[in-house]
Structure 1
Amino acid sequence: MSSILTNNGAMVALQTLKATNSALTNVQAEISTGKSVANSKDNAAVWAISKVMESDVQGFTAIQDTLSLGESTVSVARQAAESITERLNAIKDNIVNAQTANVDRAKLQTAIDADIEQIRNIVSTAQFSGMNLIDGSTTTSSFLASLDRRADGTVGVSTIDVAGQNLSTGDYVATAVFGAATDGVTANSDAAAFNLDSGGGTGTIEIDAAATYAAGDKISLNIGGKTATYTVSEADVAATTPADLIAVGLKNAVDALGIADLSVDYDSGTPGTLAFTNDGGNDLTVSAQFKNAGAGGLSLLNTIDVTSDAGALAALNNIDSIVQTAIDASSAFGAVESRISTQADFVGKLNDSLKSGIGAMVDADMEEASARLQALQVQQQLGIQALSIANQSPQSLLSLFQ
Structure 2
Amino acid sequence: MSSIHTNRSAMTALATLRQIDAQMETTMRRLSTGLRVNDASDNAAYWSIATTLRSDIKAKGAVVDALGLSGAMTDIASAGMSQAVDLAAEIKAKLVLASEPGVDKTKINKELDELKAQLKNVAQSSSFNGQNWLYGSPEIISMPASIKDYGGFTSVGYIEVDKGQTTLIDPGNNSNGLLTKDRAVTTAGGSAEIFYLLGSGTAGTAKQITLDANTTADELSGMLQAIDDMERDLIDANALLGVKASGIERQEAFTRTLIEVSKKALGRLVDADMAEESTRLKALQTQKQLALQALSIANSQTDMILLLFR
- Rg bigger for which structure? 1
> Unpaired segments of 5 or more residues in structure 2?
181-195, 199-207
Matching residue within 285, 301, 305 for 2:197: 301
Deviates more, 1:318-327 or 1:56-65: 56-65
Q: Which residue of 2 aligns with 1:388?
A: 296
SS class of match (2:251) = helix
Matching residue within 242, 248, 262 for 1:354: 262
Give the counterpart letter for 1:370 in structure 2. S
Give the drift of 1:348. 2.1
Contact 2:67/2:248 (8 A) holds in 1? yes
Matching residue within 278, 284, 301 for 1:376: 284
Structure-2 separation of matches of 1:171 and 1:145: 28
Cα distance change on mapping 1:336 and 1:67 into 2, 3 Å: same
Structure-2 separation of matches of 1:18 and 1:356: 36
Structure-1 separation of matches of 2:8 and 2:296: 13
Structure-2 separation of matches of 1:141 and 1:98: 40
Give the drift of 1:168. 5.8
Matches within 5 A, 1:261-340: 295-299=176-180, 300-302=196-198, 303-306=208-211, 307-340=215-248
Give the counterpart letter for 1:301 in structure 2. L
> Unpaired segments of 5 or more residues in structure 1?
174-291
Deviates more, 1:294-303 or 1:21-30: 294-303
Structure-1 separation of matches of 2:137 and 2:113: 24
Cα distance change on mapping 1:310 and 1:29 into 2, 3 Å: same
Give the counterpart letter for 2:114 in structure 1. A
Structure-2 separation of matches of 1:172 and 1:357: 52
Matches within 5 A, 1:81-120: 81-120=81-120
Contact 2:99/2:220 (8 A) holds in 1? yes
Cα distance change on mapping 1:335 and 1:295 into 2, 3 Å: closer
Give the drift of 1:316. 1.9
Structure having the higher strand fraction is 1
Q: Which residue of 1 aligns with 2:125?
A: 125
Q: TM-score, normalised by structure 1?
A: 0.65
Cα distance change on mapping 1:357 and 1:172 into 2, 3 Å: closer
Give the counterpart letter for 2:273 in structure 1. D
1:254-279 per-residue CA deviation (whole Å, 9 max, x = no partner) reads xxxxxxxxxxxxxxxxxxxxxxxxxx
Deviates more, 1:327-336 or 1:98-107: 98-107
Structure-2 separation of matches of 1:51 and 1:388: 45
Aligned length: 283
Give the counterpart letter for 2:292 in structure 1. I
Give the counterpart letter for 2:210 in structure 1. D
Structure-2 separation of matches of 1:58 and 1:295: 40
Cα distance change on mapping 1:169 and 1:101 into 2, 3 Å: farther
Structure-2 separation of matches of 1:368 and 1:101: 90
Q: Which residue of 2 aligns with 1:270?
A: none
